[in-house]
Structures are given as C-alpha cells and as structure tokens.
Amino acid sequence: MERRGFLRWFTLLFGALCGGSGLVSLLGRRPQDGGWQVVAKPEEFEGQPALRVRLAVRAGWETAERPIYLVRDGEGIKALDARCTHLGCTVRFKEGEFRCPCHRGVFDAAGQPVSGPVSVPLPTLETRVQDGAIEVRA
Amino acid sequence: MLRLAVIAASACVATGVFLSMQYAPTWAAAQPAVRTIQDEAALGWLLRGLHHWGGTLAILLAFAELARLFWHAQYRRPHHRPWVATVLLLLLSFGFAYTGYLLVGDERAYAGALVLEGVARSTPLVGEAVGDAVLGGPVVASALLARLYTVHIVVLPMLLLAWIVAAARREKTTASGFVAGAAKGGTAVLGALAALAFVWPPAIGEIGQPGKPPAADAQPEWFFLWVNELLHRVDGFTFLIGGVLPVATFALILFLPWIARNGTRRAEVAVAGVLAVIVVSLSALAATREVDPEFANEEDASLPIATDDTNVLTDEQQAGITAALKKFRCARCHVIDGDPEGGEDGPPIPRGERFTELYTRAYFKAKIGDPEGFWADTGMYYPRGRKPNEEELALLELYFYGSAR
C-alpha cells in the first residue's frame, strides 16, 4: 500500500477509535449496586400507614437518592417507588393516598392508579426484614 | 432578519464564553453560580441578560423570518434553500434555549429534567436504556447537567459555526463578513438586548434538589409550554406527545418544500393555522394553570419521615462514625443504631434527624472531653480526656443530625 493511502486509513481508524470509545463510554452500562439496603427500623414503621425512606443509587460519580415509600401489604411490608409513573415527579402521601404534585395523578395506598393522568401502578421493590431492620433491594 | 438572528446568537456565544468561566454543571453549584453571576459579579446582570435575551431574540427573529418566507410562499423548490436554512437556525436556537434553561439548575430546571427523563424512559422497548443513556445514570443527577453543558457549549456552537460558514459560502463571503453584514441592524439588536437585560432580568428559581420533589408549579421555557401542557393533561402517550410530536412538527416544517405541491396553498395555510391555534391555546392554558392545594407539594404533617440520610453514608463515613462512637465510648451506656452490644444506662441513640438542633458540632466540641462536661439533669457524663478533632465532629454530626452542616 502506498504511504498516503495508509495514512488516510490510519487517520480514519484513529478517529473511529476516539469517537467510538467516547460513544461507548457515554451510552454503555455502568456498574450498579443492586444489593440490599437498610432503610428503616420496624419501630419507625409501626402504626404508620406509610413511611418515606430513601434508597441510595449510583448516578454518574454521585450517590443520589431515590425516594421510596414503605406501605402495608396485609401483614407484610411493601416498598413502592415514589416516582410517578406518568412523568417521574415524586408522589407524596396525603390523606391515605399518593398524590403527584406535578400533574395531579392519584394512587391508592397500595400504589394502584386512581385518578389523573396515571394508568400504571407505582413499581414495587423487593423488601425483607433482617436483623431487626427493614431492607429494600436497590 | 436572518442576519439579525445570527447577530443575537453571536452575542450569546460572546457572553457565553465568560459565563462558562463562572459556572459549574452540578446541581449543588449551578443555581448558586448563576445567582452569583446575576447578583454579585461586576456587570454579571448584563452578561447574563444579554445571553438570555439574545437566545430568546434569536428564536423570535428566526421564527419571524420563517413566517415571512411562508407568507411569500418562498419554501417552494427550487428556491427552498433559505427556508431550510432558517428552520435549521431555529432548531439550533431551540436546542440552545432548551439546554440553557436546564443548566440554570433551579427548581424549574429540575422539574424540566424530570420531564426529560419521563419522555426518554417512555421510549418503546428500550426506554430504560435510553433513559440511562440520556441521564448518565438511573436518576436525574449532575451527570445529566454535565451532558447538557457539553451539548450547550461545545456541540451546538460547533453546529452553529458550521451553519454560519455554510451561509457565508452561499453568499460568497467569509463567516465574519456574514455576521458583520448586518452592522446597522446589529447595533439595534444589541441595544435592545441590553435594555431587556436591564428592565427584565431573567429569573432564577430556588435551587433544584434531585431526590426531593420538584416545585409543583414549575413551567418549562415558553416555547415548550404547549408540549408540557399536553403531557400534563393526557394520560399515557408520553412518548408520542413528548418525543414524536415535537420531532414530527419540526420535520413537517423542515421538509415542507418537498411536501408542498405547486399550485394552491390552501392545505399549507390550513395546517399552519391549525398548528398555530393549537400551540397558542395550549400555551395560554399552561400560563393560567394554578396549583391545586389538594396537590400541594407536602404530605400529612402527622406522617413521619424516616431517618434522613440512613442510606447515603459511604462505607468510609460509616467506618469513621463507628470508630468515633467507639473512641468516645458512647456504647457503654447507649444502644447505638440498634447494636445489641450497647449499654442500657442511657436511651438508645438511633441515627439521624431524631434529635434537635442541639446536637451540633459546636455542642459536641464543648461537651466531649471537657472535664466539666456533665449533664446534671440526666446524670450523663461525657467521656473525659478524649478531645474530638474536626473530622470526628463532622462524623458525629452526620450521625446525630442526619447530615453534616
């Protein structure tokens, strides 16, 4: 191959390497901590219809918080993702139901859609009680 | 008018260079940085005002040019090039304005970022992957601001430069010649921008805090109001409304020269009229929206909030707290964080926000290690002879108060 042709290929390849690795790093998956986290003590939840707790999630170089609600599920405990299934605002527990301040979506205490622009229930997260603490899987 | 739009955009580039030197794209820093520029930096109000109003004016001027071309039916091939160029400039201006309003980092920006997340995640089939790729993580955090910042100050300016070079080449002049071509009008534009900056300084809201609920009455930038209002009122179809609809609208406008037939203009005028009525009325609806107190951004006062920062301690912090509590022998009398090894003489000490403002750094500094440190009411004594250092004080505060102040 003549020298000019080689240089051109080399330059193209090098450019593809730079741009490609940039794209992959931007779009590729990052390590996630999917483990169990202690969110509350059973005493804190006793006698409450709902309890707002926070789950730590990795976001880029930061540790961010994801708001979670613990609610009653018969005898057990259920953890609901507090992000509204409509557009992702944080729902608040008020008068026995979850209300989204952004677009007036309402979910019942079990996270089922009631009214407003919502049709998908609040997602449930795995919970367990271990060593005297309520844990949620991130 | 197109040249005037370019002058306004150039004012944004010129001021943006200096704004970027006083800004950092993280949620903790962005809004305070913008506020400092606006309120404290010498002539900062002028800098930011020119930048903000320059962007707004670029959109308005590009749109006015588009309306003029439409009026004169100058979108028809083979004379469609000015039309396409104007639409592209308008698109660039929207891109700048959209990323720019999120970069302010206030509550409005945070609410907008959540809508962006919602739309990205509503993509069919690959929604979660698209959402993570846009945000740079599972939730809205500073990673998103870093991406928006790069788009705002690197990617879009390069595209704008390419646009100016292409436009200059078409007019057989240089890029600087093209920008300077409207010198007289340019002076008027800059004067108008300075006056706007003085009379109507662009607003800055309260700081946006990811993880906390956004302000319920937050509205996006004016040009995005109509889409937001549809999202607000319609259940589901998030991807269609937030993603497909804006893209399709712009595609329709951009490709009008290839869509429109020669001859009667009735169809184009009708579509443009309907579109204008829809956009204007939805925007007006949005502007009159009020927050329903039933949906105010607060919950029942009776409802407790769990231990605030329970989960956001790093392993390092947790280890430091454990070491500090051990060093000061707290567990001799207290059950610390449910640890069964703790003593029973004093009340249990769970973690975070359970205590009042009393338990601050200054309090521990005064009490711990002080030979006189004795709480007469309760008979509690503080460990003598072991003075905590600043780091340990911060860790104790983190433990007792829930966060270090």
DSSP state of B345: S
Q: Given an 8 Å threshold on Cβ–Cβ distance, is B338 in contact with A27?
A: no
Q: Given an 8 Å threshold on Cβ–Cβ distance, is A133 in contact with B338?
A: yes
Higher pLDDT, B277 or A105: B277
Residue to substitute from B303, B313, B353, interface A, most A β-carbons within 10 A? B303
CA distance B207 to chain A (A): 16
pLDDT tens-digit map of B296-317? 656 554 444 444 444 456 677 7
pLDDT tens-digit map of B36-86? 999 888 899 999 999 999 999 999 999 999 999 999 888 888 888 999 999
pLDDT tens-digit map of A45-97? 888 888 888 787 777 777 777 888 999 888 889 999 988 888 878 888 888 88
pLDDT value of position B220: 85
pLDDT value of position B356: 42
pLDDT value of position A132: 80
pLDDT value of position A27: 77
pLDDT tens-digit map of B181-217? 766 778 888 888 999 999 999 989 888 888 777 777 7
Reference A89, options A116, A56, A129; nearest CA is A116
User: Which of A99-103, B69-73, B116-120, B147-151 is modeled with the greatest confidence?
Assistant: B147-151
CA distance B310 to chain A (A): 7
Residues B53, B207: Cα–Cα separation, whole Å? 22
Residues B290, B294: Cα–Cα separation, whole Å? 12
- Model pTM above 0.95: no
The one-letter code for the residue type at B325 is L
Residue B235's alpha-carbon distances to A74, A113, A120, B232, in angstroms, are 30, 11, 10, 8
Q: Which of A32, A48, A119 sits opposite B235 (nearest CB)?
A: A119
Q: What percent of chain B has pLDDT over 70?
A: 82
pLDDT value of position B355: 42
Q: Is B369 exposed, middle or buried (0-12, 13-18, 19+ CB in 10 A)?
A: middle
B69 within 8 A of B26, measured Cβ to Cβ = no
Residues A94, A89: Cα–Cα separation, whole Å? 15
Contacts of A94 in chain B (CB under 8 A): 298-300
Higher pLDDT, B377 or B176: B176
Q: Given an 8 Å threshold on Cβ–Cβ distance, is B143 in contact with A62?
A: yes
Reference B255, options B94, B95, B76; nearest CA is B76
Q: Given an 8 Å threshold on Cβ–Cβ distance, is A60 in contact with B338?
A: no
Residues A134, A43: Cα–Cα separation, whole Å? 10
pLDDT value of position B380: 66
Nearest residue in chain B measured CA to CA from A30: B137
Q: Given an 8 Å threshold on Cβ–Cβ distance, is A92 in contact with B238?
A: no
Q: Which of A56, A59, A92 sits opposite B297 (nearest CB)?
A: A92
pLDDT value of position B302: 47
Contacts of B291 in chain A (CB under 8 A): 101
pLDDT value of position B389: 80
